[in-house]
Amino acid sequence: MERAWVFLILMAIGFGYSAASPLLSAAETVEVMREARRSDGFEVRMKISTVEPDGHHATPLKLGIIGQCNADKEHLLIWGISPDTVRHRFFAAEKSADGRIRLLKYREHPSDGITETDPFTKVFDSVIIWDIFSPWWNWSKQSLGETKQIAGRSCTDVQSLSNTISSPIREVISCVDRDAGLSLKTQLFGNLHTLIRTITVEQTVRKESGRLAAKKMLITGADGSIITAEIYSGDEHHPITEDTFAPLDAGK
């Protein structure tokens, strides 16, 4: 099971990729990103720190995430590690091939009650499941923009437009480092090109395989909130088993 860096790379949209041609079209770039997300199984642990819009520093969190991503379905299980106020709280989520995203909230035991939740809400008051699944890579309208430099690396903007009028996110601009299969900066917009939040890769690391991966990310909201997410090693593990995503199956 691949463990390190995967969750942040999911948020940054990519596991890392081999060198890609600089002449890729928008469709080819999007396919690079879709392929980079594929994984039979991953596990990662994160440190989350939040500065609220009023400047208040929230209590830091540690979260664990495991998941699977394939062409038919993507699964995630997110659980609280610390502090005690979040420990034994779980969220299970899936994105089906037709693009539907489901998010379930429950305690350690599903018998304690399972509640289906809006995938646009903040899980543990920090990360948004909809963003992690990055459904915009499957939107039908994609176009290339300018090439720029971010953190010393070259990336090319890819604009993704939604046909779903009811969606809170109607447009996404991702600055894609195609050699790494990684979006270094992702901007999410509502209607009329109103910026809602920006996800920026602050720090990368090169894995033993030679692939570049995101290690630290910054999520800035239009409301002034700032969330820092950084992967770390240690703490407990939750390997993927046959019943890992049972709450999702039970909730159908």
For 158-196, the pLDDT digits (tens) are: 999 998 888 999 999 999 998 888 999 999 999 989 999
pLDDT at 251: 57
**15-61: per-residue pLDDT in tens?**
444 444 456 899 999 998 988 888 888 888 999 999 999 999 999 99
Residue 251 backbone phi and psi in degrees, to 5: -85, 0
Please indicate, yes or no, if residue 117 is contained in any of the structural domains: yes
Please indicate, yes or no, if residue 68 is contained in any of the structural domains: yes
Residue 136 backbone phi and psi in degrees, to 5: -65, -20
Strands 73-82 and 90-96 turn out to be: antiparallel
Q: Which of 34, 14, 38 is closest to 155 using CA atoms?
A: 14
The enclosing domain of 128 has a CATH number of 2.50.20.10
Domain count, the chain: 1
Please give the model's pTM, rounded to 2 decimal places: 0.85
Please indicate, yes or no, if residue 1 is contained in any of the structural domains: no
Proportion of the chain above pLDDT 70, given as a percent: 85
Cis peptide before 83 (omega within 30 of 0): yes
Please indicate, yes or no, if residue 37 is contained in any of the structural domains: yes
Helix (H/G/I), strand (E/B), else coil: 63? strand
Q: Which domain holds residue 143?
A: 6-250
Please indicate, yes or no, if residue 87 is contained in any of the structural domains: yes
